[in-house]
Amino acid sequence: MIYKNITFKADPFSYNLEFDDRITLVGGNSGTGKTVLYEMLEDLRLTNEYKAIKLFNYKSDNFSEAIEQCRDSFIVVDNADNLINDEVRRFINFEPSNQYMLFLRNCDGLNVSDKSFKVLKFDNNRITLEEEL
């Protein structure tokens, strides 16, 4: 895995994101902080510690081609349900050098485990990834 955890502060919040699997699916309803987290990662990836972070969303040009160029990367896809097709699912499943955090509701076609399913949890300005029950 590229990152076992990602920790940073964005006042007044502190993020402590722990990963248990190569593919992490972050679920939850709209308005639960997924896109805000994505936006925080835009700045965080500019640091040396987190330079392996690659971000994709609806604004990404040539998404399928771009993601398939990634190796040894921590790939984050916002609104992944709208972007990921069967070809990208195959790439995710069979390119083991990458780690993925996908903001996704439909896991069909992905090789995931019971440790893959997470939701963002807020507690006293502390934000963590917790197993989805």
> What are the beta bridge partners of residue 1?
none
Please report, for the domain that includes residue 29, its CATH number.
Answer: 3.40.50
Q: How confident is the model at residue 133 (pLDDT cuts 50, 70, 90)?
A: confident
Residue 66's pLDDT is what?
A: 98
- Start-end of H helices in 78-130: 80-83, 86-94
**Cβ atoms within 10 Å of 125's Cβ, excluding its own:** 11
Number of domains in the chain: 1
Residue 28: give the domain boundaries. 5-131
Mean pLDDT, the chain, whole residue set:
96
Report whether pLDDT(4) > 80.
yes
Residue 84 has what pLDDT? Answer: 97
Answer left, alpha or beta for residue 105, where phi above 0 means left and psi between -120 and 50 means alpha: alpha
pLDDT digits (tens, 9 = 90+) for 56-101: 999 999 999 999 999 999 999 999 999 999 999 999 999 999 999 9
Contact at 8 Å (CB) between 41 and 66?
A: no
Q: What pLDDT, on a 0 to 100 scale, did the predictor assign at position 104?
A: 93
pLDDT of residue 39: 95
Amino acid at 45: R
**What percentage of the chain reaches a pLDDT higher than 70?**
100
In the structure, what pLDDT confidence band is assigned to residue 31 with cuts at 50, 70 and 90? confident
* Chain Cα centroid distance, residue 133: 19
User: According to the model, what pLDDT value does residue 29 have?
Assistant: 84
